[in-house]
Amino acid sequence: MEIKVLQNILEANDQAAAENRSLLATAGVTALNLISAPGAGKTSLLEKTIPLLRERFSLAVLEGDIATTRDAQRIGALEVPVIQLLTNGGCHLEAALVARGLAELPLETLDLVFIENVGNIACPAEFDLGEDAKVGILSVAEGHDKPAKYPLLFHEVSALLLNKMDLLEHTDFDMETFVKDFRGLNPHAPLIEVSCRTGQGIEGLVDWVAGAIERHRQGTGAAL
Amino acid sequence: MEIKVLQNILEANDQAAAENRSLLATAGVTALNLISAPGAGKTSLLEKTIPLLRERFSLAVLEGDIATTRDAQRIGALEVPVIQLLTNGGCHLEAALVARGLAELPLETLDLVFIENVGNIACPAEFDLGEDAKVGILSVAEGHDKPAKYPLLFHEVSALLLNKMDLLEHTDFDMETFVKDFRGLNPHAPLIEVSCRTGQGIEGLVDWVAGAIERHRQGTGAAL
Q: Which residues of A touch B184 (CB under 8 A)?
A: none
Q: Please identify among residues 111-150 of chain A the ones whose CB lies closer than 8 Å to any CB of chain B.
A: 118-123, 126, 139, 141-143, 145-146, 148-150
pLDDT tens digit sequence for B72-109: 999 999 999 999 999 888 899 999 999 999 999 999 99
Mutate to test the interface with A, among B145, B166, B178 (most CBs of A within 10 A): B145
Q: What is the number of other CB atoms lying within 10 angstroms of the CB of residue A79?
A: 10
* pLDDT value at residue A3: 42
* pLDDT value at residue B62: 96
Q: Is A81 on the interface with B (CB under 8 A)?
A: no
Q: Is B73 on the interface with A (CB under 8 A)?
A: no
More reliable by pLDDT, B215 or A10 = B215
Q: Which residues of A touch B126 (CB under 8 A)?
A: 89
Asked if B120 and A118 come within 8 Å (Cβ–Cβ), the reply is no
| Average pLDDT rounded to a whole number, residues B165-183 | 97
* pLDDT value at residue B177: 98
Search chain B and give the residue with CA nearest A91: B122
A85-89 long-range contacts (CB < 8 A, ≥24 apart) are A87/A118, A89/B122, A89/B126, A89/B152
In sequence order, the 6+-apart residues with CB closer than 8 A to the CB of A119 are A36, A37, A38, A39, A40, A42, B37, B121, B122, B149, B150
- The span from the CA of B125 to the CA of A121, in Å, is 16
Would you give per-residue pLDDT tens digits along chain A (224 residues)? Answer: 344 444 456 678 999 999 999 999 999 999 999 999 999 999 999 999 999 999 999 999 999 999 889 999 999 999 999 999 998 888 999 999 999 999 999 999 999 999 999 999 999 999 999 999 999 999 999 999 999 999 999 999 999 999 999 999 999 999 999 999 999 999 999 999 999 999 999 999 999 999 999 999 988 665 54
pLDDT tens digit sequence for B26-68: 999 999 999 999 999 999 999 999 999 999 999 999 999 998 8
Q: Which residues of A touch B151 (CB under 8 A)?
A: 66-67
- The span from the CA of A41 to the CA of B56, in Å, is 41
* pLDDT value at residue B32: 98
The interface predicted TM-score of the complex, written ipTM, equals: 0.80
